[in-house]
Amino acid sequence: MDSKNNLIVDVNGLVKRFPIGFSGFFTALKGIDLTVSEGEFMGLVGPSGSGKTTFLNIIGTLDKPSEGRVNVLDRNAGNLTPRQAAQLRKEEMGFIFQSFNLLPVYTVFENVEFPLLLLNLSYGERKKRVMETLEWLGLTSKINSRPPQLSGGECQRVAIARAMVKRPKLVLADEPTANLDADNSHRILKTMVKLNEELKTCFIFATHDEKVISYLKRIVHLEDGRIVKDISRQKSELQ
Ligand SMILES: Nc1ncnc2c1ncn2[C@@H]1O[C@H](COP(=O)(O)OP(=O)(O)OP(=O)(O)O)[C@@H](O)[C@H]1O
């Protein structure tokens, strides 16, 4: 099989510079090469300021490379117009953030349904997908609750449901356990492993949380804007 066919992310010579002051630049990513294949469960790991979020944002088409080629889901991310990037995100990617980003006045059902409204599916199809996804996440009894009535762990499970409901090939998760206690962290991580294994969804994390790291099948270490180690692990080495 041609391995190019199942690449979700293909990055070559990525450099990211941010303008600072009047004429200066800060170089956050200093020449990154990386490929990620379908169904991986991997993380960008490294100290604060090493470039994890910057890299994740570029993979997620939320920011553009300064130099280099970044292919995501067979598109050249550097050449997408804002409209094309938004289309790619809404159709093929899921995002999970540390702050959950749920809509507080809407119910759990409505929060999870939201990405499907952007895809013009019928109500019947939306309802079927939302209910199925809430069942995977163990949230069926909470469909009519609103985020302020939920615990942090439940809110993050709603956020995972919202990211998964359109069955994206790629989910990007930036410090998804930062606001959770240890029990809830393990619970949502186990859920994500299960979704990765059953649906073959590719997960890319940005994290320095040891709990998250203990579940990763591949760890890409960043230091000062460069990849310094890329380690794949056997199932027996994982949580
Ligand atoms: N918009 C920006 N303008 C200037 N510098 C930036 C900008 N965004 C990020 N940086 C700098 O780029 C470097 C990498 O930041 P990034 O947020 O990617 O790190 P990180 O590894 O995710 O850190 P953390 O774990 O603390 O979230 C940091 O030194 C940061 O200050």
What residue type is assigned to position 77 of the chain? A
pLDDT tens, position by position, 61-109: 999 999 999 999 999 999 999 999 999 999 999 999 888 889 999 999 9
pTM for the predicted model, two decimal places: 0.91
Q: pLDDT band for position 187 (50/70/90)?
A: confident
pLDDT tens, position by position, 207-239: 999 999 999 999 999 999 999 999 998 887 887
Q: Which residue carries 């942090």 as its tokens?
A: 152
* Dihedral, CA of residue 71, residue 75, residue 81 and residue 83, to nearest 10: -120
This model of the complex carries an ipTM of: 0.96
Q: Which residue carries 């956050």 as its tokens?
A: 28
Residue with CA closest to ligand 1 atom 9: 54
Would you state the pLDDT for residue 37?
96
Residue with CA closest to ligand 1 atom 3: 18
Using the mean position of ligand 1's atoms as its centre, give its distance from the Cα of residue 54 in Å: 6
* Per-position b or e across 173-190, b if 16+ CB within 10 A of its CB: bbbbbebbeeebbbbbbe
Mean pLDDT across 183-205: 90
Token pair listed for 238: 């994982």
Residue with CA closest to ligand 1 atom 17: 53
With a CB cutoff of 8 Å and minimum separation 6, the contacts of 23 are: none
pLDDT at 2 over 50: no
